Structure formats: C-alpha cells, structure tokens
Amino acid sequence: MGGVRRASSVNTHPQAVAPPPTAPPTGILRRSMFGLTRVRKTAAATLAVAAAATTALLGAGTASAAPQPIVGGTTTTTSAYPYVMQITDASQNQFCGGTLVSPTKVVTAAHCMVGETTSSVRVVGGRTYLNGTNGTVARVSRIWIHPSYTDATNGDDIAVLTLSTSMPYSTIGYVSSSDTGLYAAGTTARVLGWGTTRENGSSSNQLRTATVPTVSDASCTSSYGSSYVKSDMICAGYTSGGTDTCQGDSGGPLIIAGKLAGITSWGDGCARAGYPGVYTRLTSFSSLVTTQLSS
C-alpha cells in the first residue's frame, strides 16, 4: 500500500500542472508506479516506472513505496462498492484509485496527482473491469492537493478532485475529526483496488477487496521508524503479511465501520511480514475535505 508523495502546491486549477516530485527518501518504495507509492502508469511510462520501482525494491535497505494491487483479496464489483472510482489518464488507462464522497468530488492520494493536469486525468465510475467500456467517464475541472504535501512518507498525502459532471453512483460518508476511536488496533478495515495481486506482479483486471486489521502506532513506528507520521498516517495489515494493497491501489479507500477512514498511500513492498500498508489518516484531514466539498 505504498504511494509516492510528490511535491505540490495548493488548489491547482484547470490546466495547471502540479510541481515535480521531490527526491524520495532512500529505500522508500511507494505503492504506485511512479517510484515510491502504490500508483500505476501505463504503456511506455508504466514500463519505465516499473523498472525504476523494481530497482528500488531490490536495492532498498529500508521501507519502499511502490505501485501495487490488492494482495490476498477476492474479486468484487462496483455494484457492491459503487463509490470506488478508477483514476485514469486521458486514454482511460487506470493508474490510481479514488473514492466518491459527493456526486462531483473524489478523494484520492496527493502522490497520484503530482504532475497531472485537469486535461490529463479522467475519473471512471461503475466499471468493474479495467478493460471494460461501461460506466461513466468524467473529466476533472479542478485538482486540489494538500498545500503541505511533499512526499508520501512525510504525510499530507491527500487530494480532492472536482468533476465536470456528476457521477450517478452512491457516495460514501467519511470520518470526522472526532472519529479517532475507529483506528484502535485490531479494528477490521476494508481495502479496495485494481492493483497488482503480488509484489512486482500483474495488475488485477477486476476490482478486488480484502479486510485487514489496523495496527497500533507503536507497532507501525517499529516497522517504519521516522517515516511513520502518526498524526497523518494509520497502518493496517497482518503481522505475518499475506494481505495488503499494492501497486495500482494508491489513492483507493480504507473503509472502517462504513466510512472512508483512510487513503492507500505507501508501504515496504506488498504484503511483507512486519511491514503493513500505510494509509492517510483521514480524521486529520476531514475538515479540509469538507471545505473542498463546498468549493
């Protein structure tokens, strides 16, 4: 569940390009195909990024954030989870996930949006399969990236997309700042995405889901050291590994008690024992999401 945290500015606007990413911490592989997160790019860009991510994984001595899909999960459909969105390029090649929190607002990871413009991104809803042609494709009219975001391992890994047209699908509510109790260690959380089904493996054509337990801050700090920022992040996964988000899952939802509680961000590889997935702790940013919903 790793994600690349790219440097960005506040409230990007139509045609505005987010700044390029800052150099990631040595060894951190994000869960995306952009380097250290769980994002996935396609075609030539995907191959280049995947190669770089593989090199980072093999040579890393510390945690890495690289592109990855749900490992150890099961297939599902967008009918069961209508609020799960594909974030794609203009040719509808998926590279991240997102969550529909209002008909025109999608919450995703900041590292997914760095370097993107409103003309380069599409949001696809109601499409269970990556190679499908059904569902609704929406253009993006505005990209907001947390103003303090620099890299996934520094926190603030959140972005909100404003769609040009409304999505005809059910939305999901999100946590408030007072919902911190939902993150108690051992709480069951659900993750969803189209990422790879194993580290450095192939992506899943069909939407997948899995449940993972939340992990205590102390345990996550033991795994990731100073890269784990407990005010901004929450870990989820099994001590033995085996189930996790992976490349291509970045930006997708972590659901607890029927609410959006986290955003797939980064991790050390995928489903490795002792290295749970790291997610954006949404209670720390819920007021900002609410502000974006009214903007």
Q: Give 92-149 as a DSSP string.
A: --EEEEEEEEETTEEEE-HHHHTT--TTTEEEEES--BTT---SEEEEEEEEEE-TT-
3-state helix, strand, coil in the chain (%, to 5): 15, 30, 50
Per-residue model confidence as pLDDT tens digits over 228-283: 999 999 999 999 999 999 989 999 999 999 999 999 999 999 999 999 999 999 99
Active site residue 265: no
Q: How many residues does this entry show for the chain?
A: 295
The confidence score (pLDDT) of residue 122 equals 99
DSSP letters spanning 184-242: -TT-EEEEEES-BSSTT-PBPSB-EEEEEEEE-HHHHHHHHGGG--TTTEEEE--TT--
Cα(88)–Cα(9) distance, integer angstroms: 21
CA-based nearest residue to 72, from 185, 191, 187, 233: 191
Q: Which of 8, 146, 151, 157 is catalytic?
A: 157
Which residue has better confidence, 7 or 136? 136
Using the predicted structure, report yes or no on whether residue 55 has a pLDDT greater than 80: no
Listed range (43-57, 143-157, 205-219) with the worst mean pLDDT: 43-57
Residues near 107 by Cβ (< 8 Å), separated by ≥ 6? 98, 99, 101, 158, 159, 160, 174, 260, 263, 282, 289
Q: Which of 64, 250, 265, 286 is catalytic?
A: 250
Per-residue model confidence as pLDDT tens digits over 60-97: 333 333 333 478 889 999 999 999 999 999 999 999 99
Residues near 293 by Cβ (< 8 Å), separated by ≥ 6? 101, 102, 105, 160
Active site residue 250: yes
The confidence score (pLDDT) of residue 149 equals 98
CA-based nearest residue to 275, from 244, 249, 230, 233: 244
Per-residue model confidence as pLDDT tens digits over 92-144: 999 999 999 999 999 999 999 999 999 999 999 999 999 999 999 999 999 99
How far does CA 51 lie from the centroid of its chain? Answer: 20
Per-residue model confidence as pLDDT tens digits over 165-188: 999 999 999 999 999 999 999 999
Active site residue 111: yes
Residue recorded with tokens 């390009």: 17
The confidence score (pLDDT) of residue 174 equals 99
Rg (CA), the chain: 16
Q: What percent of the chain has pLDDT over 90?
A: 72
Using the predicted structure, report yes or no on whether residue 4 has a pLDDT greater than 70: no
Which residue has better confidence, 92 or 38? 92
Going by their DSSP bridges, the two strands 188-193 and 208-215 should be labelled as antiparallel
CA-based nearest residue to 260, from 207, 189, 196, 193: 189
Helix (H), strand (E) at residue 288: helix 286-293
Tokens of 54: 């593989």
Helix (H, G, I), strand (E, B) or coil at 44: helix
Give the Å distances, CA to CA, from 289 to 27, 58, 177, 181, 295.
31, 37, 11, 19, 10
Q: Which of 32, 102, 111, 286 is catalytic?
A: 111
Tokens of 72: 């150890």
Cα(55)–Cα(100) distance, integer angstroms: 34
Average pLDDT, the chain: 82
Using the predicted structure, report yes or no on whether residue 145 has a pLDDT greater than 70: yes
Cα(21)–Cα(28) distance, integer angstroms: 14
